[in-house]
Chain A
């Protein structure tokens, strides 16, 4: 191996740059936050009279490593067969297909050397960040998205979901997706703490990280996840 081995770059150690600032909301004490953690999500009144939602932190998030991903997309069907009883790329809660050919930026004149299978082979899969202040949940007009009691994942209650698509419009990462067949929102629910996509990945490119590490990998300055694009 010689030269390539010498050139091994160490994977940067996760550096936590916490954006978990919800405790700083004026008027919300620690006790309230703990209550939120237990209940998933509650609304509290701020000192200046606004109503804000306080979300329990997710237990963690799934991170995709573009350097290890071989693009088999078994994760997508692992997700949807388990959670929807069907194979589908479009509603998969992990998105590999959409950046597969030409990377996150899509086709350019320089496609042959840009990200993607048709370029430099770098596959940028995208996963739900289980955001501290989930735009999907904040936007839902019927309160159908809440933090799961066990995992803290921001999950959709399909019984309450009215299929309006507000979550899809709100998510800055393009993860929440309205299933065109059921008119219900789909987003990552962490499979009750044992994510099906992670279990299926044949190269270990997908891993579930506890929140502190996940946050660093997704949002830190040394973010390694392709999802940080």
Chain B
């Protein structure tokens, strides 16, 4: 086989029903870039409409892209693509995990791994370079993910990277994860693995990913050093610093003199973290104090994160108090992994023995570890809001059998005792009782438990559409830009392109200048909480964000860092470089590609996902069937006196129905979709080279008139 650059050239296929293992040529999917794009293409071509996510006919792809494994900054993520069990129409979706899995997969020789069928008994998949076997998993079935990984590594060797499900995935909870490493969870697809009777994939790769122009890659890495910021590509520090013109307390660039990894031995000072200093990039983000407060400094052993990423956004803690709860003291997590158990403990957290000045950190660490071991997904924090709503509104009391209700230690929740989390997560993950259905996801639980408009339309529940997923950088992030981005997926939007833009922490004028350069007018971006009505430029911003999101999930680059809109350096006029993805693609693969061409390929993926939704919803009218937001989003706020605060006045971020309708149409137009329905038109599909998609949809009468 001739040398391939960036791509390993092989997609690994495993039929669990027949036990057959084979490979196919990656390059037949090249128009879909890699990762997420290949996953959607496989769903379109091979998984028929109406397939249940847990049917053997469903397929699940573990995807990496051409940049993964080459050391390009922030290129360690794995995109997992399959039908989504939480989606009421079982739409297609991706879940993502960081860590080291995809890099190992590529070093073993595979750009993607596709599982199909269903094994007759529990198995795990063992991959050692070109040796692929399906192994008996009865000895690990039922185990938590931490032990599962250790047990598999005891068989494969300590170098193996493992992706596994816990009891939640085995029990086919809709809200379950596939996890790799100690804290990298892909939410939403654990049950798909479980339905196929696959406990884990273990990989060991001794090969490589070849680079066409190593010198160019190294030069681009040097350029990146001038551009990369802190977590979420924030480029100003959280505090006034002698080197910085700007700062913001909201910044994740928290490293500074006097702030330590306090539990390192000896403690490590994060220090000044000058933006020119390559050797402190990994100290810029002291994420423990950002996620958990200043009290977490003394528990911080170090920061961690993903393969080939200098920005370390996972904090690694030693919390000795955990031993009181029979747990090991070492905890690793980030962001929502910490925030969601805190959400479940909505009455606050207070340790049972009264010693806990750091109760909140201890309780959070307990919850994060439990959810990670059991393999539960929080639906981006929805589980906490749901517990609160169902408890306070009497839903639990109404729907749980009396005996079950009485057996749940609500008094611990009331007191804020984190032992409630131990009971709660175990019940749900092991599918014990009616309460476990809380993990069906909002759309299904609303049907099962008869939840009405009050549930969907309550602002505090933060549910975006009847698709059952919540806000994730929605209307609070650049107004209609974030709001519209949240309408196009089948789960929380997981799009950080716009969030990293507004989260740069730079003054609004600089952001508006860059918005003007990119989208044609500074009006593409409103200042936070000071919104104006929809305009064409915002629609371009939405299109840009969706395209780059798909691009990164396909390359695979971390969309929580990329694209590089800004730089921390005044000498660069704070400008990043938005052609870096294309430059890296060119250097790595040896085939010159422009940013426009690359974006066009990603646009194909956006439209393919759109077509998948038309197919799974069996209607062209996505505007009403898929994209319609819940009422709370388009209802004006009221002030303390009950007076309406009109939309588009400073201080409110509420949207307006007519404005959202206008916005949807503008975005449809940007993508060449039917402006009335939002479905892809035949001509757009043909222009994107999606002729087979057009033909399939036409045959089903799903092309807009």
Contacts and interface: CB of A to CB of B under 8 A. Distances in A.
A26 to B, nearest CB: 43
B297 A1 contact: yes
A82 interface: yes
Interface string B245-270: 00000000000001110111111100
Interface stretch (B200-208, B391-399, B632-640, B675-683): B200-208
B278 A199 contact: yes
A127 interface: no
Interface in A106-138: 106-107, 111-113, 116-121
B312 A70 contact: yes
Interface string B288-306: 0000000001100111111
Nearest to A85: B214
A78 B214 CA distance: 10
B327 to A, nearest CB: 9
Contacts of A200: 221, 278
B208 A84 contact: yes
A86 interface: yes
> A85, A86, A91, A98: which has the most chain B beta carbons within 10 Å?
A86
A72 B308 contact: yes
Interface in A1-39: 1, 3-5, 7-11
Interface stretch (A40-48, A158-166, A201-209, A210-218): A201-209
B328 A72 contact: no
B154 interface: yes
A202 B205 contact: no
A87 B209 contact: yes
A4 B298 contact: yes
B150 A118 contact: yes
Nearest to A76: B71
A107 B158 contact: yes
A102 B153 contact: yes
Interface string A73-84: 110111011101
A60 interface: no
B281 interface: yes
Contacts of B404: none
Interface string B28-48: 000000000000000000000
A121 B260 contact: no
B574 to A, nearest CB: 21
A203 B282 contact: yes
A67 B266 contact: yes
A101 B221 contact: no
Contacts of A84: 208
Contacts, number: 188
A118 B449 CA distance: 40
B374 to A, nearest CB: 16
Given A72-B308, A81-B211, A113-B330, A118 B149 contact: yes
Given A88-B107, A121-B332, A73 B100 contact: yes
A76 B258 CA distance: 31
B174 interface: no
B324 interface: no
- A contact patch SS: loop
Contacts of A202: 278-283, 310-312
B107 A72 contact: no
Given A80-B208, A88-B208, A98-B158, A8 B267 contact: yes
A1 B150 contact: no
Contacts of A49: none
Contacts of A87: 69-71, 103, 107, 208-209, 211
Contacts of B208: 80, 84, 86-88, 90-91, 181
B87 interface: no
Contacts of A91: 206, 208
Interface in A157-215: 180-181, 196, 199-204
A98 B644 CA distance: 61
Interface residues on B, range: 35 or more
B107 A89 contact: yes
A225 B211 CA distance: 32
Contact of A70 (B153, B211, B262, B305): B305
Contacts of A4: 260, 262-263, 267, 297-298
B278 A9 contact: no
A27 B281 CA distance: 52
A202 to B, nearest CB: 3
Nearest to A81: B214
A117 B182 contact: yes
Contact of A101 (B71, B153, B278): B153
B107 A70 contact: no
B408 interface: no
B6 to A, nearest CB: 10
A107 B150 contact: yes
A68 interface: yes
A180 B206 CA distance: 7
B268 A68 contact: yes
> B71, B206, B209, B258: which has the most chain A beta carbons within 10 Å?
B71
Nearest to B278: A202
B417 to A, nearest CB: 24
A133 to B, nearest CB: 29
Interface in B319-366: 328-330, 332
A64 to B, nearest CB: 14
A59 interface: no
Nearest to B67: A87
B307 A72 contact: yes
A202 B70 CA distance: 17
A197 to B, nearest CB: 11
A7 B267 contact: yes
B70 A5 contact: no
B153 A107 contact: yes
A100 interface: yes
Contacts of A155: none
A226 interface: no
B150 A111 contact: yes
B267 A5 contact: yes
Nearest to A69: B302
Nearest to A199: B278
Contacts of B304: 70-71, 117, 121
A77 B71 contact: yes
A185 B124 CA distance: 34
Contacts of B157: 106
B280 A203 contact: yes
Given A4-B260, A82-B218, A10 B266 contact: yes
Give the top 8 A-B pairs by smallest Cβ distance, nearest first.
A77-B71, A202-B282, A202-B310, A88-B208, A4-B262, A204-B279, A86-B208, A203-B282
20 contacts: A1-B259, A4-B263, A7-B266, A8-B267, A72-B282, A72-B307, A73-B308, A81-B70, A87-B70, A87-B208, A89-B107, A102-B150, A102-B153, A118-B146, A120-B318, A121-B316, A202-B278, A203-B279, A203-B283, A204-B280
Given A88-B207, A120-B318, 14 more contacts: A72-B307, A72-B309, A103-B158, A107-B154, A116-B158, A117-B182, A121-B301, A121-B318, A200-B221, A202-B279, A202-B281, A202-B282, A203-B280, A204-B280
